[in-house]
Amino acid sequence: MNYKLVALILVCCAVAATGCMGVADSILPNQRTSSAGSAMDSNFQGLSEQKATSAYPIAVPAAAPSASGSSGTIPGTGIETRIIKTGTATIEVQDVTASADALKALAVQKGGYLSSPSIQKNTNNRLYATVVLRVPQAQFEPTMEGVRAVGTIKSVSTSGQDVTEEYVDMQAQKASYQNQLAQYNEIMKKADKIEDVIKIQTQINLVQTALDRIEGRMRYLDSRIDLSTITVNLQEPEPVGGETGHSFITAINEGIGGFLGMIDALIILFFTFLPLIIIGGAVYGVYRWRKNKNVVVSPAPPQQEKKP
């Protein structure tokens, strides 16, 4: 019995079942076709028939535990729950700039930082600001208490987004992609033809791209989980008795604006009704022409002869 032949058949089956089907199912689920699968199986089978002499074990790397913070553990499963906490608040303050500085100091005190501060003036010449605080999740509630103490609360809300299921799913996908990379790298060591190397490298690139995408998404979620986001809108109170009082210049400007607006309205009305004016003028001209044509000139009365 030819043991090398048996080993060769086992290697071909393992590579075709785990490598090709894994890539087709995980990376390109919408582009998988039966013909592409058959072609890939035949490619790797031919490559294995050329170089494989014995079966080799491929270790499946285990998914590394995340170092990110969590909000507890699901009972009976050992899976860490992962919650993204966010908060928003609208606060009325007497000094927007000083309040923004106070929020910055609060964020630093809680182990975080102030992100994307923006201080502007509105149309009424009143200052307003939007500041975003990033603080550790454990300091979320104490930070919200500090935010409430900055001024008069107009509105406040907090929310938590559970991303545990998404995170666990991505951990499984990451382990699968790492397994596929290990398999393709082992096959690459056996390849000696350029066309085989190109085909294998194409699959490695696809798997690596998918793996990078998963790892990037996991890093983003880790950042959102570890550091909670609090968005604070600061605004000054409306002054008593109006914004600025009476102004003759403002009144004159508004009068000029009204006058120009009236002129604009008249011009618009004129050109809007201009076709009607032209048609009406033409009809009236025809009417007058027909009326003058039908007028009968009465004969002059006979003159009486003068007696001598």
Write the pLDDT tens digit of every residue in 77-120. 667 888 999 999 999 999 998 999 999 999 999 999 988 778 88
d(CA 65, CA 171): 9
Q: Which of 1-10, 90-99, 243-252 shows the lowest mean pLDDT across its residues?
A: 1-10
Question: Which one-letter DSSP state was computed for residue 113?
Answer: E
The Cα 73–Cα 90 span in angstroms is 33
| φ/ψ of residue 223, rounded to 5 | -65, -45
Q: What is the pLDDT of residues 151-177, one digit of tens each?
A: 999 999 999 999 989 999 999 999 999
Instruction: Give 293's pLDDT tier (boundaries 50, 70, 90).
Output: confident
Alpha-helical (H) ranges within the chain are 3-14, 21-26, 34-51, 96-109, 140-148, 164-190, 194-226, 248-293
Which of 123, 127, 121, 125 lies closest to 99, judged by CA?
Answer: 127
In this prediction the pTM is 0.52
Residue 100 and residue 107: Cα distance in Å, rounded? 11
Ranking 57-71, 77-91, 196-210 by mean pLDDT, the lowest is 57-71
Residue 256 has pLDDT above 80, yes or no: yes
Would you say residue 6 has pLDDT above 80?
A: no
Evaluate whether 225 touches 82 at the Cβ level (below 8 Å): yes
Q: Please, what is the angle between helix 194-226 and helix 164-190, to 10°?
A: 160
Amino acid making up residue 88: T
